[in-house]
Amino acid sequence: MPAPASVPRGLFAFSLLYGGLVVLAGVLGTKLAALGHWPVLGDLAVESGIFAFLLLVVLSSAVAELYGQTTANRLVRFGFVPLIVSICLLSLVIEVVPPAPFWHDQEAFARLLGQGARMQFAGLCSYGVSQTLNVYVFSRLAAGRQGKLLMARAWIASLLSQVVDTVIFITISFAGKVDPVTGQPMPIGLIMEGQIVSKLLLSTIMVPPFIWLFVKLGRRLDRAS
């Protein structure tokens, strides 16, 4: 299907992908993925939504590179729409719509896909702040460089945005909560430390090659339109 004439084909394609990944990031986040054992760092694990979220970082950076910071910020803001709609639909299906009498997976479905209001709010805040920060840092680093150091700029912006995303999400989600096993306050610092290390590692591996790929793809799509 061709993109509307007023919208570059690359931006049209990236916007569609961005909206889908915003929704998918929350769904994937229910699984904790093992990243294996690393020298010095030890055994690492991370919530699987980071794979989709890093692609969101790459897409917003690619849009900033190709179409400007203003367009990239607009993409981030529009990303709230599918995110909020998906949260509302999941809550509706889990809490309101009754399961069929012959379907017995309601508890598993709710456990995997359901999130409390506090974590949903945390996700909205961390998404908005971290993605906006990513676009800002990437664009500021690009000033006067005329497309140079693309992968380095994307990597630095991704590292900063991932740290901020983790701090905001974990603080809002777990501040004041008590560990049901130990009865002690949740070890927020330890949770942040493990998540930040894992996310920074994945940012280093994924972001540089993917930003190069998406910028090249966007330019090719635009030339083909």
The whole-number average pLDDT for the span 55-64 is: 96
- For 152-169, the pLDDT digits (tens) are 999 999 999 999 999 999
- For 97-118, the pLDDT digits (tens) are 999 999 999 988 888 887 777 8
Are 60 and 76 in contact by the 8 Å Cβ rule? The answer is yes
The larger pLDDT score, comparing residue 164 to residue 4, is at 164
Are 134 and 160 in contact by the 8 Å Cβ rule? The answer is yes
pLDDT of residue 159: 95
Predicted confidence band of residue 138 (pLDDT cuts 50, 70, 90): very high
Q: Which domains does the chain have, with CATH numbers?
A: 9-224 (1.10.1760)
Six-digit token string for 73: 């910020």
pLDDT of residue 197: 92
Predicted confidence band of residue 146 (pLDDT cuts 50, 70, 90): low
Single out the residue of 30, 18, 32 nearest to residue 90, CA to CA. 30
Single out the residue of 150, 195, 220 nearest to residue 8, CA to CA. 220
- The verdict on pTM exceeding 0.85 is yes
Single out the residue of 162, 118, 113, 116 nearest to residue 137, CA to CA. 162
Are 210 and 55 in contact by the 8 Å Cβ rule? The answer is yes
